[in-house]
Structure 1
Amino acid sequence: MTSALVVPGQPLGPAHAYVPGSGVHVFNGQIVSSLVGQVVTTASTSTSASASTLTSTPPTISVVKPSVAADEEGSSATLLPDVNSEVLCRVTRINARQATVAVFVVNGRVCGDDFQGVIRVQDVRQTEVDRVRIFTSFRPGDIVRAKVISLGDQSNYYLSTAHNSLGVVMANSEAGDPMYPINWREMKSSRTGVVEERKVAKPF
C-alpha cells in the first residue's frame, strides 16, 4: 500500500511493528523517513515447518521517491507552483526581513527543478505579526511546509506559514542534531536536549 508524501525525519510507526526497508531508518524506537517520498508497506506472511502453524511477520515499510510529474506524452514536465499550492521547501538563507527558500515539492509532487521563494516577516504567523523575528522562526537547512500566496516577481514566489499546519517540519540544531517539536514555537535536540525557537508546523 502506498501513502501520501512524507519528508525526512517524519515518524512512520513503531520499530516493533515493521521491518525497515529502503528509504527509512530506526531512531528512538521509531521507523523514520530518510527522504522525501511515498510510504510503501508490504505485508509478509510465512508458514512454519508444521503445516498447522502459521507465523506472521511484521510488514516491511519503505519510502520511495515519487516520479517527477510527466506530461501526456510521458516526457518530464516542469511542475510550476500556483497560488494556494502547498509546498515543501528548504531554507537557504535568512535576513531580518525574510527567509529565502528552495521549493522542491508542490502539492505532494516532487519538482523537476527547484524554485526560489521567500517567506516575508509579515507572512510567518497569523497573530502577533509585529513581534515576529525571522531569526527565531527559521534557520538555513530547515524543511518548511508553506503555501503560495503570490507568484511574486520573476525570481521569487511569495510563501506564507501563517497557519497552524504550516511551518518547520524538520530541523537540525546548531550542533547538527535532529530536533523534534515540543510546542508551536520550540524544537528540542534529540541528543542534547537543547531547545531552539522555530515557527513549528502542526506535529505529524
Structure 2
Amino acid sequence: MTSEPLICLPGQRLCLSDQVYTSGQGTYERQGYIYSQLAGSVDIIQKDGVKIVEVHSSGEQTVVPAQGDIVTAQVYIITQQFAKCYIKGVGDTLLRRPFRALVRREDVRATEKDRVEIYKSFRPGDIILARVLPITEAHTYQLSTAENELGVVIAHSEHGHPMVPISWTEMQCTKTFVKECRKVAKVVPENVNPENSEGNVDT
C-alpha cells in the first residue's frame, strides 16, 4: 500500500536542510530549510545515505524567486529610502504572478552608497534587472542592483517615449533628447564576445 503523495505550493517550507535531507530538483535551500520552487508533488530519493527532496510539477511549472537569482522587475513606487517593485520574471522564466519586492537605497550601487538618491536611480514604470538578497521580511523580497550588469534596462521618459542609455548614470529620450538620471544596467548581449566588443555604453 502506498500513501498519497504530499502536494505542495511554491514557496512552501518542506523540511530542515541538514546532513540527512538535501535540496534537489524543484526545491531550494534558504536559512537552513528546504522550500518548494513549484506547485506539485514531493518525492524523497535515497542516494548515498542522503535523502534528496524533490518536487515534480503535475501541470504548468511555477517558479518562485530564490536568494541569488537574477530577476526582472518593474518599479511602481519610489521613496527617499527605497523603490518598490513587482518581480515579473526569474532568469528567462516569465512568472505566472508577480511578487512584491523592494530595492533599498543602500543596495542600489556598490560604491558611494550614502550618496545614492532613489529618484536619480529609478522611476515608476522602469524595468530593472536585480539580484535577490537573503529574505529578512515575510512576503517581501529585497533586491540589489549593485553589480554593473544590474539596474535599469527599459525606461520611458516623462513624455512616454523610449529612452536609451548614454552612460552608467543617464538615459536619453529618443524623441525629445532630454536626459534623465538612472542606475543603468550594463547589458552584455549573449552572442557578443566581450573581448571583441566595445563593452561600454559611455559616449
- For 1:118, which of 85, 91, 102 is the aligned residue? 102
Contact in 2 for aligned 1:77/1:112 (Cα 8 Å):
no
- For 1:90, which of 41, 51, 74 is the aligned residue? 74
Q: What does 1:47-58 align with in structure 2 at a 5 Å threshold?
A: none
User: What's the TM-score, normalizing by structure 1?
Assistant: 0.64
| 2:190 is the counterpart of 1:200 | no
Q: Which range moved further: 90-99 or 146-155?
A: 146-155
Q: What does 1:1-204 align with in structure 2 at a 5 Å threshold?
A: 72-204=56-188
Q: CA deviation at 1:70?
A: 8.0
Instruction: Call closer, same or farther: CA 1:73–1:163 in 2, change over 3 Å.
Output: closer
User: What's the TM-score, normalizing by structure 2?
Assistant: 0.64
Q: CA deviation at 1:153?
A: 1.4
RMSD: 1.5
Separation in 1, partners of 2:154, 2:145: 14
Q: CA deviation at 1:165?
A: 0.1
Separation in 2, partners of 1:94, 1:142: 11
Unaligned runs of 5+ in 2: 1-37, 41-55, 189-203
SS of residue in 2 equivalent to 1:82: coil
The structure richer in strand per residue is 1
Contact in 2 for aligned 1:78/1:113 (Cα 8 Å):
no
Separation in 2, partners of 1:73, 1:189: 44
Q: Percent identity?
A: 42
Residue of structure 1 in register with 2:23 after alignment: none
The residue type equivalent to 2:141 in the other structure is Y
The aligned length equals: 136
